[in-house]
Amino acid sequence: MTSPTELFTTQLQLLRGQPCWLVVGGAGTGSNIVLHIGARVPRKQWLGNPFLGVEGRHHEGEYLLYVECPWRLEKSSTAVVGSWLDAQDAKLMRATLALIENQTIEECSVTPPANDLELVFSAGHRLRLFCDQRDTESGDNYTLFTPRYAIANMGGFRLTAEPRIEAR
């Protein structure tokens, strides 16, 4: 049987070469962000959220990366935007996160022991996730939803994998 760590490593590599076509963050999400990656999958129920735009209301990514831990978007060793922005800067966060929309993921890497994650995009941006949920009661750091699995980096830096329940 495949361990959650092995499964995560395998699934993460499937993101290479995939487009990130929508990033949801800013207004109404706090510092949490969601990356929609890969093919556009029609939603069973359209969403009414005007911040998503027509494409986001009607489709979701084949892969979703839901981020709840601290994160930072960088380019050329400069921090462009990060989870430190508060609700007053939601417009700035949204506009800056749009820099990685329609970019292809070129590299994916995980750094032990906390399973920090780094994605490198075709325009040279790097999205770094810094896992800080040490307590299993604190919530997840991030979750990668693939067509078949939901793989979470839970509190305590433990990876878990479950079959994905279709809600599309």
Q: What is the spatial distance between Cα 104 and Cα 113, in angstroms, rounded to a whole number?
A: 27
Burial group, residue 77, by CB count within 10 angstroms (0-12, 13-18, 19+): exposed
**Which domain range does residue 66 map to?**
4-163
Helices (H), 50-140: 53-58, 90-97
Q: For position 128, what pLDDT does the model report?
A: 97
Would you state the structure tokens that stand for residue 166, as one six-digit string? 């279709």
Does residue 59 fall inside a structural domain?
Answer: yes
Would you state the structure tokens that stand for residue 37, as one six-digit string? 């990656």
Overall domain count for the chain: 1
Question: Above 80 in pLDDT, residue 166?
Answer: no
Question: Above 80 in pLDDT, residue 162?
Answer: yes
Q: For position 88, what pLDDT does the model report?
A: 66
State if pTM tops 0.95. no
